[in-house]
Amino acid sequence: MKRILITGGAGFIGSHLCDRLINEGNEVICLDNYFTGSKSNIVHLLNNPYFELIRHDVTHPFFVEVDEIYNLACPASPVHYQYNSIKTIKTSVMGAINMLGLAKRIKAKILQASTSEVYGDPDIHPQPESYWGKVNPIGIRSCYDEGKRCAESLFLNYHRQNNVNIKVIRIFNTYGPRMNPNDGRVVSNFIVQALKGEPITIFGNGMQTRSFQYVDDLLEGMIRMMQTDNSFTGPINIGNPNEFSMIELAKEILDITGSSSKIEYKPLPEDDPTQRQPDISLAKEKLNGWEPKIQLREGLIKTIHYFDQLLQQS
């Protein structure tokens, strides 16, 4: 049994990670300030003697004895990370400093949940880890993009300078149950609009592409990354390389839900990437042949079922 700290543990991805690690026989400490996370995501774990929930903001130091740390704390959707952009930067940068300081003191292994947003609006397609990215450092998305890029730099420098055992993953678009219905992300947006019979809002011409990864595939990649040899730090792409346009995604959701919603086009937001697709050859090589198992339609059916139940309760 390991004692594992998960920052952002009450969030969409963090709560699924809590479930997985508890089910594997670990003791889990879940840290969250509930800015985007929700106690409802982990309420089913509260009576488990091996689960502990602590309300805390990672921009402030935290002291605990653990074996591993998963640093997931940060708002990840444009609606939330642009709501308080300074706070977003602080969470990425100061949160990384505080968690790396903790890992250094207690000699814990630490994983940073970075993002495909470090690639910005890429010139190279698909994106390998060797690509440095094309990011607007002063745009409306920069609070998230540059915050995560700085966090990666901090992780690698703590490793080089202080020999901290680090792992860095770059997460590509991930979806599944427990997504916030109001987070402004394309999958949750389209599903909620379709289930309510509202117009499906597509920004731009709908030909921009994303690669959608179901949350269970991400968890498998994260845990395998934690198990890699100490000499391998990453960064490593964790995502589904199957690429879909916004129009294709909308049509798939309309087909599954049987919704009569119409598609409505709106102007493209500033600095919105036109394409995003991971090169996962490094993950296949380093993570024992890891690759996504759940394809888009199967994952969407599970996610739509979750949102359908959620909307019926509200």
Active site residues: 144
Strand partners, 211: 243
Structure tokens at 223: 């845990």
Segment (H or E) for 166: strand 166-171
Structure tokens at 221: 């990649």
> Look-up: residue for tokens 């990370």?
81
Whether omega for the bond prior to residue 235 falls within 30 degrees of 0, making it cis, is yes
Segment (H or E) for 90: helix 85-106
Alpha-carbon gap, residue 15 to 45, rounded angstroms: 10
Structure tokens at 19: 């479930």
Q: What is the DSSP string of 46-68?
A: TT-TTEEEEE--TTS------SE
Whether omega for the bond prior to residue 126 falls within 30 degrees of 0, making it cis, is yes
Rounded to the nearest 10 degrees, the angle between the axes of helix 142-162 and helix 85-106 is 20
- Whole-angstrom CA distances from 104 to 5, 97, 138, 165, 166 are 14, 10, 32, 8, 10
Structure tokens at 124: 């190279």
Residues whose CB falls within 8 Å of the CB of residue 163, separated by 6 or more in sequence, listed in order: none
Q: Are 276 and 122 in contact (CB under 8 A)?
A: yes
Task: Determine whether 89 is exposed, middle or buried from the number of CB atoms within 10 Å of its CB (0-12, 13-18, 19+).
Answer: buried
